[in-house]
Structure 1
Amino acid sequence: MKKMLEWKTWKALHKALRRRGYKGEFEKISMRRWRNSASPLISMALPNTWFDEIGLINLERYEVGILHRYYES
């Protein structure tokens, strides 16, 4: 979340993407609102491997819920 807060301006986000090697045109999206967190730019800037590196748990790897077996078939 700290990184997203650092990208309040679209220029800062684009600099971070350029540093990671992404090329092309980007939309002028800043991280002032949570609705922007689902944008493809943020997926490029913060890939899932980055979250693995900092030690966060990936909930997609776990089978949870009462109805899990119901939806398997």
Structure 2
Amino acid sequence: MPFQNIYQPSQVKVLTVALDEYCQVRGIITVDGREEVAFRLMDLFSKGAGTVEALRAGLEEADRSIRVPAE
């Protein structure tokens, strides 16, 4: 079976920087928390977000859409 989803080093670097920045700003330090963010980043990347800025914007947009308004 051929390999699927093979990424170039430059693409891995973009994903790593986006993951590290997002987790640092939000204080996400657990493996599970970082893994969840990584899955979200991979989804955004597969949909065409190919820069740190685009990935950051995608995560922030998703964050805004899932926030529950205070009562």
Query: What interval of TM-score do these two structures reach, taking the shorter chain for normalisation?
Result: under 0.3
The TM-score normalised by the length of structure 2 is 0.27
Rg bigger for which structure?
Answer: 1
Length-normalised TM-score, structure 1: 0.27
Structure possessing the higher relative contact order (Cα contacts under 8 Å, 6 or more residues apart): 2
